[in-house]
Structure 1
Amino acid sequence: MNISFFGLGYVGCVGMGCLAQNGHKVIGVDISPEKIKNINEGIPTIVEVGIGEIIKEQHLQGRISATHDYMEAVKESDISFVCVGTPSTNKGHLDLSYIYQTAKEIGEALKEKNGFHVIVIRSTVFPGTNKKVSEIIEGISGKTRNVHFAVVSNPEFLREGTAVKDYMNPPLTVIGTDCEKARDIMTELYAPLAAPLEIVPIEVAEMIKYVNNSYHALKVVFANEIGRICKSCGIDSHEVMRIFCMDKQLNISPYYFKPGFAYGGSCLPKDLKALKTMAHDLYVEAPVLNAIENSNQYHIENTIEWIQTIGYKKIGVLGLSFKAGTDDMRNSPIINVIETLHGKGYEIKIYDKNVSLARLIGKNKSVITEKLPHLNSMLQDDMESLVKWAEIIIIANSDEAFKAIKIRKGQTVIDLVRIKELEGENGYKGICW
């Protein structure tokens, strides 16, 4: 394929070199005469392991060149990668002026060009930027989005120092598009890479890089807080984290990464509190650890406020234990919701097949005594009767039986766990989706 790259910085230089190495003819565009000169002499615009040899070789093969003439670059290519900078403003927003300027230039070039053209946003941008770029190009070119051109979001996952290796061996490739023709072109372009190709809604592709990098920042800070605590105890923090990372079922896995309701149970709250206390006693500052419980509590309070805005007073709760398949109610977050709403005068009925007053002993019994002394009158044995009675149904755990409930007209279902069988029904509301 013939490909143009707008922006010859880190992402652009690595991208054009690697695509040329895969056999494509690539032309770069930049406002810097020095960068253009470097590329046209077979010299990379950045210092990065392996890229010097690639740019030199591909220049000798005649697959790489650069120009300041964006009209020529678009005219001579089928795909244009947008890799220009998106620096932060003083208030933390992104300066997207380079993105929009590039969109204008591509729009001007497409006005004079026939044939379908794909514009690939490789830069890190806010959700909604793809739509704005499409509008700019449509307005200037007079062409129609997804007919004459398509704008695709394709975030990069490159680390400085290993960028060439990361490009050639990515964990996955993300393509955000709603255009079938663009999807097929991008699928062919990335076919040589032995990695899963995820075709997703455009906004998902625009959002994922922010999630990735914020989580990477969180991991660094979390590991450093654990390191400070371990050091104060004379414990090898690297050995602790090595063992932590060996668990691929829970620790390094998708298990807990599902937006939903607050955490609860006997272990997470207790052990988090213990680690925070340990840090406090050792005079070790751990602001991330200290913020976890506050964020969890905010999620519960936000849920209560959300329920109150609906306006109904008859609430049926499906699931009382903190997890389906257990009767453990210790620190079950739904109990805080029930307790608060009951205190505000809401009429509440509860169904949980695993919770029985006759079997409530130990800590579970104290939960009822302290938190929900009126539980006896709230608990119901018949799920169908509760569902028919309730104006609001709150689904609080993922019991299989809850997939089959019938939502009647005028009824609101608040799903805290995401039961996909109910999505799309009238009155259905997901807590985080």
Structure 2
Amino acid sequence: HKSCRLHATTDPKTAVRDSDISFVCVGTPSLRSGKLDLSHIEKVAGEIGSALREKKSHHVVVLRSTVLPGTTESLVIPILESASGRRAGSDFTVCYNPEFMREGSAVADFFQPPYTILGAPTPEHLAPVRELYKDLPGTVFETTITAAEMAKYVSNAFHAVKVGFANEVGTLCKYLGVDTQTVTRIFTSDNKLNISSAYLSPGFAFGGSCLPKDLRALAYKAKELDLSLPLLESILPSNTEHIERTVEVVLQSNKRKISVLGLSFKAGTDDLRESPQVQLIKRLLGEGCQLRIWDKDVSLGRLAGSNRHYIEEVIPHIGSLLSTDLKEVVRSGDIVIIGTKSVAKTELAKLLKSGQMVVDLVNLDPSQRPESPATYEGICW
């Protein structure tokens, strides 16, 4: 502004002609059905496209509006190409750069972003935008357009989850006579587990002797107090649904000989209490599948107390399914379900055979996934 480089206009052609980059920042409100109203984006894309028809130099179009994955490539680019008579990528560039600016603090948020996300078909397409943002602080993530679109939705959804979670926990604290502020201050001070990337990685369902029972206890207490806490109450059903998705993957394959690697709820322990793998095995047995199970940390002879009682109650004949021979277990199945990270990549790769299907529940790092003729399927990636 001080150097007289800021100008306002209501003419799209003038705006495009006198600039190198166009940022599209129009609203995407909800229709009554919940579907996004993309009419503003369609209108602006058409106007920019018409302006590009008369522009000889290369132009960059950056969409910042919040849109569902695929919108930029399936809607915005086709409109731009149709209106301009030119091709995206060669005649003009389209990128996606979601904004993370809050009402009331937009300017401050722009100059101090949590991070900057740039989405484009290739890194080369991002060069002008990268140069524009070079002086801003924070990490810059360069990725695909669809990943950038989805990252914005994930961020907003998690913000909403955090608000709802805090409100429900605060309500429960109030009715129990507990100081909400003290609990919140203690909880948010932990940036190793509570407020961090810990647990925020797609994988299998949670289990063990703590999380499930603690959620049930909170829900039960809330009912005693006649409180409706739908967010907290929905977590366990969501967890169960995740197990069911794995069951469906197996059943839809029409394969019934299953090798399961991992029985305990967490590698490095023999705790089977409410292990999601145990629940998965129970469901697959109920569907008529033949199972062999391997877990280097689990020995029936060493199980004791509530741990032993739990597995004997849920799967009474577990002893006949368990084996300490990894090779025998892997080779026995048409599907190999990886439910633990304690099995070595090199060891597993040698045992897998052609025609087998690998179902990964633990989100093995790509470098740790076995290279083999088996078909690989991640449960949610």
| Bucket of the pairwise TM-score, normalised by the shorter protein | over 0.9
**What TM-score comes out, normalization by structure 1 length?**
0.83
Aligned to 2:314: 371
Paired position in structure 2 for 1:304: 247
Partner of 1:64: 6
* 2:285 counterpart (339, 342, 345): 342
Give the corresponding residue for 1:98: 40
CA distance in 2, matches of 1:399, 1:67: 62
Correspondence for 2:376? 428
User: Partner amino acid for 2:38?
Assistant: L
Residue 325 (structure 2) aligns with: 382
Q: Match for 2:259 among 300, 303, 316?
A: 316
TM-align CA RMSD: 1.6
Question: Structure 1 residues 179 and 109, CA, compared in 2 at 3 Å: closer, same or farther?
Answer: farther
Q: Aligned pair 1:158/2:104, yes or no? A: no
Taking only the aligned residue pairs, the percentage that are identical comes to: 48
TM-score (norm 2): 0.95
Counterpart in the other structure of 1:410: 355
SS in 2 for 1:429: strand
Match 2:141 to one of 191, 198, 208: 198
Uncovered stretches (5+) of structure 2, i.e. residues with no partner? none
SS in 2 for 1:326: coil
Aligned AA (2:4): G
Are residues 1:287 and 2:235 paired? no
| Distance apart, 1:254 and its partner CA | 0.6
- The offset of 1:404, in angstroms, is 4.1
Q: Equivalent residue for 2:22? A: 80
Q: Tell me which amino acid in the other structure corresponds to 1:236.
A: D
For residues 185 and 255 of structure 2, the distance between their equivalents in structure 1, rounded to whole angstroms, comes to: 51
Whichever residue aligns with residue 369 of structure 2, its letter is: L
Q: 2:195 aligns with which of 235, 247, 252?
A: 252
Counterpart in the other structure of 1:127: 69
Distance 1:424 1:133 in 2: 39
Find the structure with the greater CA-based Rg: 1
1:156-195 matched pairs, under 5 angstroms: 156-195=99-138
For residue 186 of structure 2, what is the aligned residue in structure 1?
243
Moved more, 203-212 or 324-333: 203-212
- Classify the secondary structure of the residue corresponding to 2:330: helix
Length, aligned pairs only: 375
* Superposition deviation, residue 402 in structure 1: 5.0
**Range with bigger deviation, 307-316 or 180-189:** 180-189
Contact kept? 1:411, 1:427, Cα under 8 Å: yes
> Offset at 1:349?
0.2
Q: Give, in whole Å, the separation in 1 of the partners of 2:307 and 2:243.
A: 20
Q: Distance in 1 between matches of 2:63 and 2:69?
A: 12
Given that residues 88 and 95 in structure 1 are in contact (C-alpha distance below 8 angstroms), is that contact kept between their aligned partners in structure 2? Answer: yes
Structure 1 segments of 4+ aligned residues over 3 angstroms from their partners: 423-426
Aligned to 2:82: 139
* AA partner of residue 83 (structure 1): C
- Describe the SS at the equivalent of 2:308: helix
Q: In structure 2, what is the Cα distance between the partners aligned to 1:212 and 1:340?
A: 34
Q: In structure 2, the residue corresponding to 1:164 is in which secondary structure?
A: helix
Output the amino acid matched with 2:14.
E
Closer, same or farther: CA 217–180 of 1 in aligned 2, 3 Å = closer
Report the Cα offset of residue 273 of structure 1: 1.3
